[in-house]
């Protein structure tokens, strides 16, 4: 059930329409408190623009403690940085502009979904395996730029979401030059950088307020707009974000920069699978071989690696069998080259959604279903804490030799 709190009649009508048929309208917060106390099936409180903001934030703070599964969505005629920060600290799921009817509806939908997930998790018995409730995290990595990481990441995420059959989030960890927002033609209100001031009070509701929806089942956490912002985002914050996202989504797909930086290593630590991407050219394969050696050095389990060959049908004088022999590892998926891929990127629609029968789409969807979705979660075999603490030293020592 959704409770809409708004004294103005015209705004009531607009908010009730955005909330859908399950919305119940009340005039003030006192009535909302009574409704929440009497009705245990209240999932979301949608607070309108004519409700005092301080009182609205006080309700969010109170519900955060007494009803942590309940989502509060705040609608304002004007949104500034101070309001956003205060709202996220209070536990508000989303802050949306009054005239953004579609944004209000999307915020309510996200809050309902998070409520469903939270209720399911709260209903687990102590004997249940906690790891079974976590989503799987897949990191897409290549040590060489231009291999197609963002293309694979966005399309893999869309394939896993399968038009709403699963809940998937893609995280852009290329914090300096991330392209996920551009590739998906998103105009985000928030980025991962907005999590920095919330680091000490980060929770599921705060993370939800940072997300930008793309299509049914598919949500994004995009990279900062300003490249210099990356320096202010600690790896510990990335770890906390990924951990919270795994609790809220079926799958978390992480796009990465072409470097073994601390943020990428934090993603590797939580990965159930690492998709290592290369193309049929000597520099890319050389970097892939070095990547495998580095992962071995850092003791990342081999059973989490999946080698992916992009533009695999390129006629460049290298055979896939020769590549596998050189790398001493199998290529699990071969993605053909096609001019339709950059065309789909320019349209902002992943090719698996734009043309599901395309050979590229078929290859990525087969990888998504047969390798990613069908695989067993490996969360139990997380990287030992001692190795996590020492891995940067290992990399530094390796770079000096």
Higher pLDDT, 399 or 224: 224
- Name the band, by pLDDT with cuts 50, 70 and 90, for residue 118: low
Structure tokens at 38: 């009497």
pLDDT reading at 220 higher than 70: yes
For 258, how many CA atoms within 13 A lie in the half-sphere containing its CB?
Answer: 16
Residues 229-233 have a mean pLDDT of: 88
Q: Given this model, what pLDDT does residue 21 score?
A: 54
Q: What is the average pLDDT across 257-286?
A: 90
311's tokens: 């533009």
- Give residue 389's pLDDT band: very low, low, confident or very high (50, 70, 90): very low
Q: What percent of the chain has pLDDT over 70?
A: 87
Which secondary structure element, helix H or strand E, spans residue 154, and what is its range?
helix 149-161
Per-residue pLDDT at 391 exceeds 60: no
The answer to pTM > 0.85 is no
The answer to whether residues 32 and 73 touch, using CB atoms and an 8 Å cutoff, is: no
Q: How far is CA 216 from CA 19, 389, 393, 397, 399, in A?
A: 17, 39, 42, 46, 44
Candidate from 50-54, 125-129, 236-240, 242-246 with smallest mean pLDDT: 125-129
| pLDDT score, position 39 | 66
Q: What is the mean pLDDT of residues 120-128?
A: 46
3-state secondary structure of 227: helix
How would residue 320 be classed by pLDDT, with cut points 50, 70 and 90? confident
140 contacts 278 by C-beta, under 8 angstroms: no
pLDDT band at 219 (very low <50, low <70, confident <90, very high): very high
Average pLDDT, the chain: 84
Summarised one tens digit per residue, pLDDT across range 177-197 is: 999 999 999 888 899 999 998
Q: Judge whether 134 and 154 are in contact, CB under 8 Å.
A: no
Place of tokens 């949608």: 46
| pLDDT given at position 386 | 42
331-371 tens-digit pLDDT: 999 999 999 999 998 888 999 999 999 999 999 999 999 99
Q: Which domains does the chain have, with CATH numbers?
A: 2-122 (3.40.50.2300), 131-400 (3.40.50.300)
Mean pLDDT of 289-305: 86
CB-count exposure of residue 102 (10 Å: 0-12, 13-18, 19+): exposed
The pLDDT tens digits for 1-43 are 888 999 988 888 888 887 765 568 888 998 888 888 776 778 8
pLDDT at position 98 over 80: yes
pLDDT at 304: 87
pLDDT attached to residue 364: 95
Higher model confidence: residue 145 or residue 138?
138
Distances (CA, A) of 110 to 30, 117, 135, 170, 178: 25, 11, 17, 15, 24
């Amino acid at each position: 059930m959704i409770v809409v709190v708004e004294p103005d009649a015209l705004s009531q009508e607009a908010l009730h329409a955005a909330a859908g048929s399950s919305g119940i309208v009340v005039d003030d917060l006192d009535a909302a408190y009574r409704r929440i106390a009497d009705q245990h099936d209240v999932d979301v409180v949608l607070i309108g623009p004519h409700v005092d903001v301080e009182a609205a934030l006080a309700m969010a703070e109170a519900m955060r403690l007494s009803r942590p599964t309940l989502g509060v969505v705040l609608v304002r005629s004007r949104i500034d940085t101070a309001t956003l920060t205060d709202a996220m600290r209070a536990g508000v799921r989303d802050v949306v502009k009054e005239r953004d009817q579609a944004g209000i509806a999307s915020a309510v939908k996200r809050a309902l979904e998070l409520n469903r997930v939270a209720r399911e998790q709260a209903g687990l018995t102590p004997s249940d395996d906690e790891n079974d409730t976590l989503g799987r995290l897949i990191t897409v990595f290549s040590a060489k730029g231009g291999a197609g990481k963002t293309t694979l990441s966005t399309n893999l995420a869309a394939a896993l979401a399968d038009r709403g059959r699963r809940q998937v989030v893609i995280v852009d960890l290329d914090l300096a030059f991330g392209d996920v927002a551009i590739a998906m033609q998103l105009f985000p209100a928030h980025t991962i950088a907005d999590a920095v001031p919330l680091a000490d009070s980060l929770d599921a509701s705060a993370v939800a307020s940072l997300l930008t929806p793309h299509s049914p089942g598919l949500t994004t956490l995009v990279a900062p707009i300003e490249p210099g912002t990356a320096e202010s985002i600690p790896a510990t914050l990335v770890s906390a974000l990924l951990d919270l996202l795994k609790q809220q989504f079926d799958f978390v797909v992480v796009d990465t920069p072409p470097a073994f930086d601390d943020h990428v290593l934090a993603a590797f630590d939580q990965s159930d699978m690492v998709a290592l991407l290369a193309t049929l050219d000597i520099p890319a394969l050389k970097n892939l071989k070095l990547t495998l050696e580095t992962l071995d050095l850092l003791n990342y389990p081999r059973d989490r690696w999946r080698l992916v060959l992009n533009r695999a049908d390129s006629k460049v004088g290298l055979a896939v069998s020769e590549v596998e022999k050189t790398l001493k590892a199998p290529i699990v998926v071969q993605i053909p080259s096609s001019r339709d891929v950059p065309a789909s990127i320019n349209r902002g629609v992943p090719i698996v959604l734009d043309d599901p029968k395309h050979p590229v789409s078929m290859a990525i969807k087969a990888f998504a279903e047969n390798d990613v979705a069908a695989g067993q979660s490996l969360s139990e075999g997380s990287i030992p804490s001692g190795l996590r603490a020492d891995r940067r030293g290992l990399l530094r020592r390796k770079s000096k030799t």
